[in-house]
């Protein structure tokens, strides 16, 4: 099928030869494309939107032919959530709790521990009403219920969130797995020790606890000093070792104590050289061996993982390592291997390989997924391929290749814990491997299984309903789609294309048919909307409206003749427009003869564009889309083809023709430069396109009201100029800033100076410079400098210290002039008086009105508060070298603007009174103001700081001069010192723990304190002294983000 644009052009090609009044039925059907041939299936890759008869590619492909019933629903088979026969139950990963899941599976497969937990007294579970959900409280109750579900649940996996929440673990942060094992066993031991049943009180000790002693032997007298201790796991160093035997041997090897590490012998009563070693006395039934893969790296200051291959046996004989008690069982069998995937100590994934005590089969527990190993053998498999990727994104092999393992041995570089159990005798009763769930727990499990079965039934019913609904929809579509095409000469209706697509899209609910958006202003189908509708047969339309409802219905009587006629008129005018444009362009160049008409120059320059937009607006006036605003459409151009008599310029785009010569009173504008006369012939042609445009003949007088207002404005400007000149002459020194009094050196010949706000002086100067553009100043406004009680807000000392930036000082003669010229709400003056005392002459200064101390203190307090409640302010950090001096302090930084050096040059005040940009710069927070004596002080208040004028009348720049070795940082008051150190780390490559920060000689040490509380204000300079640097700064971010990995165990240890 032809493209949409071609179809649209073909639908209106007839307008070139047919006038609007000659339109017939055949022209209307051409405009609505009623007779465009329908597309056949396979002919179109997608639906032809320009053809209302194309019903291909609207979603029918999914329904034609046979359909698999699974396509009618998006509900997974609930049986996929069901536990398979002779398999174990998994545990849901709650975010970063895979390390918890691995230990829970290992402890669940410890039959003695599980049996003991089932025997614990649980009155809450025994008395629980089976009609409500059971919510365990204590850790023991959670473990009981969790183990019972793991044993007899019908679910493929269960949610351990109850236990995780009771332990107070952070599900979003991965913790130290080895530390979790220790703390949890300690907590469980404490919980079981409080049981009334004596056989339960020592379960943890019997299962996991062994004994060893630290034996120290004095080399001088040979006295042995044993220190007995219990252990729940042996922590074995793996660095530099290849197999488990080497690790155990190093753990028990003799250590020499000499030099500064000598041992104080009780017999010798002095420090002596000695040896120390660990002696194993007894081993538990379950031996936990922690392979210390996560070690602290002193170079980087954080933990790292050792990816060392360690070989370990399936059968471990601990007899050679045991001291005495040769009668106890020393041969162990491997029962679990805990694996950590990943190269980082702070991330990765934990899984567990566990041996089933009943069948001796090996299983891999990976959260919800459980996989049985083939052939009753441990198969570490792909877990040993994880770890070849380094954190720097380079693929390099870590250490050596995987060594070959002899029969009965396994080799791993990701195993971090090995669990061995004492080898059982062959004639052990089978009943020992059977652990029954107590009846009170089984009731709770049965209830959970019942809920699961109900859920499965509900999901199956929902699947069935979806399938039944889909099949019915399938039959409906096959039936109706055959009826959709409208036959030639048969009745038809138009149906929205989007509705048909949604009807054929089973993923959305089918709503009623809404054709209201397709109507024109005459209540019929708009010609422009025919591309978004499809012409269907009347029988099909009746079935669709009968089943889904809606409206209004658009049949063959809905083709709008008025809209077609209007479009025909517009298109014909568009074709005529170019010819009229050329003719008008020629006519305006001729000399005017006879009566003329006023036309705006801007309108004349762009009349073709305005006419085109007006025609398009008429064409689309009822179209339901983003219509173009006249004069602002995509075709807007500046037509400059009228020759030199039409000046070029970026005139404001017109909204309506000739509007720029229409004044606000509806008369002819008085701005004659914006209009010109055109002949009546030109106006007649323009009037055809703009029948509503304002019309003014050449004899039309300009608006009398505008003329009156113009004359009044000229008179006012003359008065303002006279007033400004008079005020300037009377206050010339104030305007030119000459001979100004200062407080730093009280002028001779007067004991009083007057004060006005600097704002008043600035506004007055604006008026003097541009009297016709600025409003005259009427009032001094001294109340700005007074408190609500009428008292003055500044002291003489504060004015010397920087508050003078808010005021201007006046001579008494100038005050007399100002009092006559302006309204004075409250005179403010400062007086100097001398008093003779026995010790000499003293000078005192006072103000009138007097200072209001209460409001002054509140003002200072607010200033200090503002300095400590800032956001996005700038501070400067300077790096200090060993001799405590700033790095080349006196030399400005090379990349600083060269204008900064020039700013230090002295320059006389400008005669016109305008200040340089630095003199009136405005930034939030306090500025460092350079005083006349060369010292630096903080200007009080958040008011914009101006330069201090020296007695000689020379200004100094107050911009902060950046020095080499100094960097600017953007900070906020509520930011902590720790966060600032991280910013400094990125700026200076100095690790946070190597940073020594100080401000004004005060050390900043509290990392948790905010900058506001530490006295760091905007524009502060912080000194940085760095300790000996660390080589790897790339890992510093990770260290500060990770913090202490055991943070999540606070609640667990609190138990």
pLDDT in tens, 673-714: 888 888 888 888 888 788 888 888 888 888 888 888 888 888
- pLDDT at residue 257 in the model: 87
CA distances from 316 to 178, 331, 412, 426 (A): 22, 6, 16, 17
Closest CA to 555 of 635, 506, 497, 493: 493
Assigned token pair, 360: 């001796």
Instruction: With a cut of 50, say whether residue 512 has pLDDT above it.
Output: yes
Instruction: With a cut of 80, say whether residue 968 has pLDDT above it.
Output: yes
**Confidence category of residue 812, pLDDT binned at 50, 70, 90:** very high
β partners of residue 280: 212, 322
- pLDDT at residue 640 in the model: 35
Instruction: With a cut of 80, say whether residue 5 has pLDDT above it.
Output: no
Instruction: With a cut of 60, say whether residue 983 has pLDDT above it.
Output: yes
- pLDDT at residue 882 in the model: 59
d(CA 17, CA 506): 48
Instruction: With a cut of 60, say whether residue 395 has pLDDT above it.
Output: no
Residue 482 backbone phi and psi in degrees, to 5: -70, -25
Q: Is 349 a residue of the active site?
A: yes
Instruction: With a cut of 70, say whether residue 794 has pLDDT above it.
Output: yes
Instruction: With a cut of 80, say whether residue 265 has pLDDT above it.
Output: yes
At 808, is the secondary structure helix, strand, or coil? Answer: strand
- pLDDT at residue 74 in the model: 59
Instruction: With a cut of 90, say whether residue 418 has pLDDT above it.
Output: yes
CA distances from 734 to 395, 725, 728, 742, 814 (A): 76, 14, 9, 13, 8
Closest CA to 177 of 95, 107, 113, 97: 97
Residue owning tokens 């891999």: 364
**Confidence category of residue 998, pLDDT binned at 50, 70, 90:** very high
At 896, is the secondary structure helix, strand, or coil? Answer: coil
- The chain-wide mean pLDDT, for the chain, equals 77
- pLDDT at residue 42 in the model: 65
pLDDT in tens, 535-562: 888 888 888 888 888 889 898 888 988 8
Q: How many other C-beta atoms lie within 10 A of the C-beta of residue 40?
A: 10
d(CA 979, CA 314): 50
Whether 833 contacts 751, CB under 8 Å: yes
Taking the model in full, what pTM does it have? 0.51
d(CA 812, CA 421): 104
Whether 626 contacts 711, CB under 8 Å: no
Instruction: With a cut of 60, say whether residue 319 has pLDDT above it.
Output: yes
The residue ranking higher by pLDDT, 986 or 64, is 986
Closest CA to 109 of 399, 306, 370: 370
The residue ranking higher by pLDDT, 846 or 401, is 846
**Confidence category of residue 813, pLDDT binned at 50, 70, 90:** very high
d(CA 247, CA 217): 23
Instruction: With a cut of 90, say whether residue 420 has pLDDT above it.
Output: yes
| pLDDT mean over 948-963 | 45
| pLDDT mean over 42-63 | 74
Most confident of 44-53, 301-310, 822-831: 822-831
| pLDDT mean over 950-967 | 54
Closest CA to 534 of 510, 489, 499: 499
Closest CA to 683 of 572, 607, 734: 607
What percent of the chain has pLDDT above 90? 11
SS3 content of the chain, % helix, strand, coil (to 5): 35, 20, 40
Closest CA to 110 of 8, 181, 177: 181
- pLDDT at residue 421 in the model: 92
- pLDDT at residue 926 in the model: 36
- pLDDT at residue 144 in the model: 87
At 560, is the secondary structure helix, strand, or coil? Answer: coil
**Confidence category of residue 65, pLDDT binned at 50, 70, 90:** low
At 398, is the secondary structure helix, strand, or coil? Answer: coil
**Confidence category of residue 650, pLDDT binned at 50, 70, 90:** very low
d(CA 90, CA 108): 11
Candidates 349, 410, 474, 806; catalytic one: 349
The residue ranking higher by pLDDT, 507 or 349, is 349
Assigned token pair, 935: 């010292």
Instruction: With a cut of 80, say whether residue 620 has pLDDT above it.
Output: no
pLDDT in tens, 872-918: 888 999 988 754 444 434 334 433 333 333 333 333 444 333 333 33
**Confidence category of residue 722, pLDDT binned at 50, 70, 90:** very high
H/E stretch holding 54:
none
| pLDDT mean over 597-605 | 88
Residue owning tokens 């190093």: 250
- pLDDT at residue 89 in the model: 92
d(CA 680, CA 690): 15
- pLDDT at residue 337 in the model: 93
d(CA 636, CA 638): 7
| pLDDT mean over 130-157 | 84
Q: Is 288 exposed, middle or buried (0-12, 13-18, 19+ CB in 10 A)?
A: buried
**Confidence category of residue 400, pLDDT binned at 50, 70, 90:** low
Instruction: With a cut of 80, say whether residue 28 has pLDDT above it.
Output: yes
Query: 188-197, 453-462, 961-970: which has the minimum mean pLDDT?
Result: 961-970
H/E stretch holding 305:
strand 302-305
Q: Which segments of 789-944 does DSSP mark as H helices, in order?
A: 796-800, 812-821, 853-867, 898-903
d(CA 107, CA 112): 10
pLDDT in tens, 462-472: 877 777 776 67
Decide the pairing of beta strands 1021-1026 and 873-880. Answer: parallel
- pLDDT at residue 1032 in the model: 43
H/E stretch holding 200:
helix 198-201
d(CA 371, CA 36): 63
**Confidence category of residue 323, pLDDT binned at 50, 70, 90:** confident
H/E stretch holding 999:
strand 995-999
pLDDT in tens, 225-245: 888 999 989 999 988 898 999
Candidates 48, 54, 98, 563; catalytic one: 98
DSSP per residue over 354-393, as a string? Answer: EE-TTT--EEEEETTEEEEPGGG----GGGGGTT-B-TTS
- pLDDT at residue 903 in the model: 36
**Confidence category of residue 391, pLDDT binned at 50, 70, 90:** very low
């Amino acid at each position: 099928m032809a493209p949409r644009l071609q179809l649209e052009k073909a639908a209106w090609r007839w307008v070139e030869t047919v006038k609007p009044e000659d339109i017939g039925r055949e022209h209307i059907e051409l405009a609505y494309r009623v007779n465009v041939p329908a597309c056949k299936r396979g002919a179109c890759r997608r639906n032809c939107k320009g053809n209302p008869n194309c019903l291909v590619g609207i979603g029918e492909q999914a329904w034609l032919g046979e359909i698999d019933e699974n396509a009618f629903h998006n509900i997974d088979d609930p049986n996929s959530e069901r536990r398979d026969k002779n398999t174990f139950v998994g545990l849901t990963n709650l975010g970063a709790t895979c390390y918890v899941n691995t230990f829970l599976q290992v402890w669940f497969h410890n039959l003695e521990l599980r049996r003991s937990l089932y025997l614990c007294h649980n009155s809450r579970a025994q008395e629980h009403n089976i009609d409500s959900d059971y919510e365990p409280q204590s850790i023991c109750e959670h473990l009981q219920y969790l183990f019972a579900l793991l044993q007899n649940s019908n679910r493929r996996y269960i949610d351990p969130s109850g236990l995780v929440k009771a332990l107070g673990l952070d599900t979003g942060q991965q913790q130290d797995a080895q530390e979790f094992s220790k703390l949890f066993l300690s907590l469980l031991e404490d919980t079981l020790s409080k049981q009334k049943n004596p056989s339960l009180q020592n379960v943890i000790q019997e299962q996991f606890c062994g004994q060893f002693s630290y034996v120290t032997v004095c080399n001088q007298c040979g006295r042995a000093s044993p220190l007995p201790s219990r252990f729940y796991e042996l922590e074995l160093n793996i660095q530099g070792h290849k197999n488990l035997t080497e690790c155990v041997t190093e753990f028990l090897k003799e250590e020499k104590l000499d030099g500064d590490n000598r041992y104080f012998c009780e017999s010798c009563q002095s420090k002596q050289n000695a040896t120390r070693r660990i002696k194993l006395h007894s081993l538990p039934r379950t031996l936990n061996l922690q392979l210390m893969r996560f070690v602290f790296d002193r170079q980087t200051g954080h933990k790292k993982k050792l990816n060392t291959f360690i070989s370990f046996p399936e059968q471990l004989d601990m007899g050679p390592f045991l001291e005495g008690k040769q009668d106890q069982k020393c041969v162990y069998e491997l029962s679990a291997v805990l694996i950590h995937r990943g190269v980082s100590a702070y991330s990765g994934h934990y899984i567990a390989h566990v041996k089933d005590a009943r069948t001796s089969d090996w299983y891999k527990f990976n959260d919800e997924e459980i996989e049985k190993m083939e052939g009753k053998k441990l198969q570490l498999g792909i877990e040993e391929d994880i770890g070849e990727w380094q954190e720097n994104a380079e693929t390099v092999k870590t250490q050596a290749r995987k060594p070959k393992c002899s029969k009965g041995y396994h080799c791993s570089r990701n195993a971090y814990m090995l669990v061995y159990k004492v080898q059982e005798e062959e004639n052990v009763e089978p009943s020992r491997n059977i652990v029954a769930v107590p009846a009170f727990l089984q009731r709770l499990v049965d209830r959970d299984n019942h809920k699961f079965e109900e859920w499965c039934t509900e999901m199956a019913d929902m699947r069935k309903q979806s399938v039944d609904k889909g099949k019915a929809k399938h039959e409906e579509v096959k039936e109706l789609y055959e009826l959709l095409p409208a036959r030639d000469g048969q009745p038809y209706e138009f149906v929205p294309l989007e509705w048909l697509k949604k009807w054929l899209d089973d993923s959305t609910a089918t709503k009623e048919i809404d054709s209201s958006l397709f109507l024109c202003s005459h209540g019929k189908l708009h010609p422009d909307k025919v591309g978004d509708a499809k012409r269907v047969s009347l029988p099909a339309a009746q079935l669709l409206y009968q089943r889904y409802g809606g409206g209004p219905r658009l049949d063959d009587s809905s083709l709008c003749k008025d809209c077609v006629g209007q479009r025909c008129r517009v298109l014909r005018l568009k074709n005529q427009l170019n010819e009229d444009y050329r003719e008008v362009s020629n006519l305006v160049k001729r000399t005017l003869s006879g009566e003329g008409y006023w036309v705006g120059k801007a309108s004349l320059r762009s009349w073709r564009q305005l006419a085109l937009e007006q025609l398009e607006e008429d064409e689309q006036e009822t179209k339901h889309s983003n219509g173009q605003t006249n004069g602002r459409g995509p075709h807007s151009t500046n037509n400059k083809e009228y020759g030199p008599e039409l000046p070029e310029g970026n005139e404001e785009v017109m909204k309506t023709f000739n509007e720029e010569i229409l004044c606000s009173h509806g008369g002819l504008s008085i701005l004659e430069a914006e209009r010109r006369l055109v002949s009546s012939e030109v106006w007649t042609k323009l009037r055809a396109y703009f029948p509503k445009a304002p019309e003014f003949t050449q004899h039309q007088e300009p608006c009398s009201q505008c003329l009156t207002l113009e004359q009044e404005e000229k008179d006012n400007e003359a008065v303002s100029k006279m007033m400004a000149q008079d005020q300037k002459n009377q206050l010339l020194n104030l305007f030119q800033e000459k001979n100004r009094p200062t407080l730093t050196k009280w002028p001779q010949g007067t004991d009083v100076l007057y004060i006005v706000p600097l704002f008043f002086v600035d506004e007055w100067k604006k008026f003097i410079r541009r009297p016709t553009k600025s409003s005259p100043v009427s009032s001094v406004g001294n109340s700005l400098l007074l408190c609500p009680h009428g008292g003055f807000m500044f002291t003489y000392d504060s004015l010397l210290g920087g508050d003078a930036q808010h005021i201007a000082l006046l001579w008494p003669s100038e005050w007399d002039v100002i009092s006559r010229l302006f309204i004075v709400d409250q005179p403010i003056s400062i007086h100097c008086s001398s008093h003779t005392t026995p010790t000499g002459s003293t000078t005192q200064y006072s103000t009138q009105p007097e200072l209001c101390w209460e409001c002054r203190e509140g003002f200072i307090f607010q200033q200090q508060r503002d300095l400590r409640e800032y956001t996005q302010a700038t501070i400067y950090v300077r790096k200090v070298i060993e001799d405590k001096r700033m790095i080349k302090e006196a030399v400005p930084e090379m990349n600083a603007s060269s204008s900064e050096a020039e700013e230090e040059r002295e320059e006389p005040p400008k005669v016109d009174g305008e200040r340089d940009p630095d003199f009136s710069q405005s930034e939030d927070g306090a500025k460092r103001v350079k005083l006349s004596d060369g010292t630096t002080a903080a200007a009080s208040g958040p008011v914009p700081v101006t330069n201090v004028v020296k007695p000689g009348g020379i200004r100094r720049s107050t911009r902060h001069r950046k020095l080499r070795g100094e960097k600017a940082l953007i900070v906020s008051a509520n930011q902590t010192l720790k966060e600032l150190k991280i910013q400094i780390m990125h700026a200076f490559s100095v690790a946070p723990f190597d940073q020594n920060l100080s401000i004004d000689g005060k050390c900043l040490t509290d990392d948790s304190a905010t900058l506001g509380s530490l006295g760091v204000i905007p524009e502060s300079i912080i000194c940085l002294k760095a300790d000996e640097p660390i080589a790897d700064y790339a890992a510093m971010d990770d260290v500060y983000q990770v913090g202490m990995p055991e943070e999540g165990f606070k609640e667990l240890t609190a138990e």
